[in-house]
Amino acid sequence: MSFKPLIDVHYSEHMTRCEFLDEMLSSQTELSVAFRYLIGRVKMHPEVELVLDFRNVNYVSAYFVGQLMELRHHIITHKGSLRLIQMNRQVFEILLVSRVNHCFDIDFKEDFGMQYVQFAHHVSHEAHRTPEGWATRLRTMITESNLFDLSSPGKIAQLQKQISKKRSDDHESERRVG
């Protein structure tokens, strides 16, 4: 059995670029070691610009998302910056559903179209700031409408109307109760 590294790290004076080499980032043991290394790098080099390259990645686990948020905390504490680059739709979808996409500066591997990205961020913010019941219904709407297969502005506009209607229905039932 041959050993395959999980990350490839390149350094410059004020930047560290980390390329993930595996397409599935889910092994808690390997991820723990990689993130411990990156957090150590951030602590040793305050104000470092850390760039995480996702060009090879098609899946990230919930554990990965948690470790990424912890890394972000250390970067903020040490006045550094974090950028995620070459991200594809599958990985962005996981960050969106986890409601952490708005925490990161993300550059995409493919052109999603600005309308798609703006709408996805809007949906994420809406789910984050509203009551739990609404967030669950909103995520269900995203899944049912296949948000990640939206290819036309018409489909996006249709989904935005559905969201507006759901929101006004929710407010209407609150008015009747109160």
* The predicted structure's pLDDT at residue 102: 83
Over the stretch 111-161, which tens digit does the pLDDT of each residue have? 655 556 666 666 666 666 665 665 566 666 556 555 555 445 565 566 666
Pick the CATH number of 1-110 from 3.30.750.24, 3.40.50.10440, 3.40.140.10, 3.40.50.11540: 3.30.750.24
Over the stretch 38-76, which tens digit does the pLDDT of each residue have? 999 999 998 999 999 999 999 999 999 999 999 999 999
Q: How far apart are CA 106 and CA 4, in angstroms?
A: 26
**Global confidence as pTM:** 0.65
Q: How far apart are CA 150 and CA 173, in angstroms?
A: 30
pLDDT surpassing 60 at residue 25: yes
Q: What is the 3-state secondary structure (H, E, C) of 118-177?
A: HHHHHHHHHHHHCCHHHHHHHHHHHHHHCHHHCCCHHHHHHHHHHHHHHHHHHHHHHHHH
* The predicted structure's pLDDT at residue 113: 57
Per the CB < 8 A criterion, the answer to whether 116 and 154 are in contact is: no
Residues 6+ apart with CB under 8 A from 128: 99, 102, 135
Q: Where are the domains of the chain?
A: 1-110, 112-178
